Amino acid sequence: MTHPSEQFEGTPLIAPSTIEHPLYEPVVDACRTVYDPEIPVNIYDLGLIYTIDITQENAVKVIMTLTAPGCPVAGEMPGWIVEAIEPVAGVKEVDVELTWEPPWGMEMMSDEARLELGFM
CATH of the domain at 96: 3.30.300.130
Please count the other Cβ atoms lying within 10 Å of the Cβ belonging to residue 120: 10
Q: Which domain holds residue 74?
A: 23-115
Domain-embedded: residue 1: no
Domain-embedded: residue 99: yes
Check residue 39 and give its pLDDT: 84
Check residue 117 and give its pLDDT: 85
Check residue 36 and give its pLDDT: 84
Cα of first residue to Cα of last residue in the chain, in angstroms, is: 39
Check residue 9 and give its pLDDT: 65
For the chain, how long is the longest CA-to-CA vector?
59
Check residue 92 and give its pLDDT: 98
Q: Which amino acid is at 117?
A: L
Distance, CA of 97 to CA of 79 (rounded, Å): 10
Domain-embedded: residue 3: no
List alpha helices for the chain, DSSP H. Answer: 24-31, 43-46, 77-85, 111-116
Check residue 14 and give its pLDDT: 84
> Considering its fold, how many domains does the chain have in total?
1
3-state helix, strand, coil split of the chain in percent (to 5) is 25, 15, 60
Mean pLDDT in consecutive groups of 10 residues from the start of the chain, 120 residues: 51 84 97 90 95 97 91 87 98 96 90 85
Check residue 1 and give its pLDDT: 45
Question: Quick check: 46 and 36 in contact, CB under 8 A?
Answer: yes
